[in-house]
A and B are shown apart, each in its own frame.
Chain A
């Protein structure tokens, strides 16, 4: 398990998410953290308000397709901004493993794999 404070205007977030997609047997929680550029807020809200959030996020992140959904649905984007700040995060990507340990940056995939394996050993 891995939770990321991620942003569509952060090239390293894109790389990190691409890398994580290469791993098997992992659940990635993406928290759209709209802090990098002013337009991040609108983009994050539109992603959240999309019917298929994962598709809208991936389209924006990897293909630069702007989400078309309205931004006025009930959404937690402002709450997530506050939440990340309260955790003391000041950079993207900031990510957390199952033990709650916090890491920064798109580390090389092999290092990430080690950290993930260490944080959540096989349960079977």
Chain B
């Protein structure tokens, strides 16, 4: 680096605020960065009265981290015992061992009896992924509504 080069940690709010917020994302049409909701398409369905399957269809060139999924009810109550399949191991020099998913991942989410009794559930799903072109998204929060079948009278 030359003498005039330098790295500064500063708050340059005034300067950046002057920048047009709508300045375009300059990736050509060929490698335009997708909106996270399009890169990671979520859907969900009921498996039975007490289990929901959440599915992500992941666009080509994008991937999701296994350890960054979390699930909650709309009121914010975290849902435990979620069944996430094993991903593809990824070893990063600095970030250690992680597992990632490409193309498709299906996750089973158990619903409490109390929530299931309501007949439907709004799931708040948090996830995180990256694109191979060299960018990672901030955590993505999506909400899916799933109708649950009534428990059959025994």
Contacts and interface: CB of A to CB of B under 8 A. Distances in A.
Interface of A: 3, 9-12, 14-17, 21, 23-32, 35-36, 47-48, 53-54, 57-58, 64, 76, 79-80, 83, 86-93, 96, 99-107, 115
29 contacts: A3-B15, A3-B16, A11-B94, A12-B135, A14-B94, A15-B134, A24-B1, A27-B7, A27-B8, A28-B7, A31-B11, A35-B139, A36-B139, A53-B9, A54-B7, A80-B11, A86-B21, A87-B19, A87-B21, A90-B36, A91-B131, A92-B138, A96-B16, A100-B20, A101-B24, A101-B26, A103-B25, A104-B27, A106-B135
Contacts of B1: 21, 23-24
Q: Which 8 A-B pairs have the closest CB atoms?
A: A100-B19, A106-B134, A105-B135, A105-B134, A102-B23, A53-B9, A35-B138, A12-B134
Contact of B2 (A25, A54, A88): A25
B12 A107 contact: no
Chain B interface secondary structure, helix, strand, loop or mixed? loop
B7 A30 contact: yes
Given A24-B2, A103-B25, A90 B138 contact: yes
B13 interface: yes
Nearest to B35: A90
Contacts of A86: 21
Interface residues on B, range: 35 or more
Given A3-B12, A30-B8, A54-B9, A90 B23 contact: no
A83 B16 contact: yes
Nearest to B96: A64
A111 to B, nearest CB: 10
A87 B4 CA distance: 29
Nearest to A81: B138
A123 B17 CA distance: 24
A10 B16 CA distance: 22
Contacts of A28: 6-8
A67 to B, nearest CB: 12
Contacts of B11: 31, 76, 79-80
B27 A91 contact: no
Interface string B20-42: 11111111000001011000000
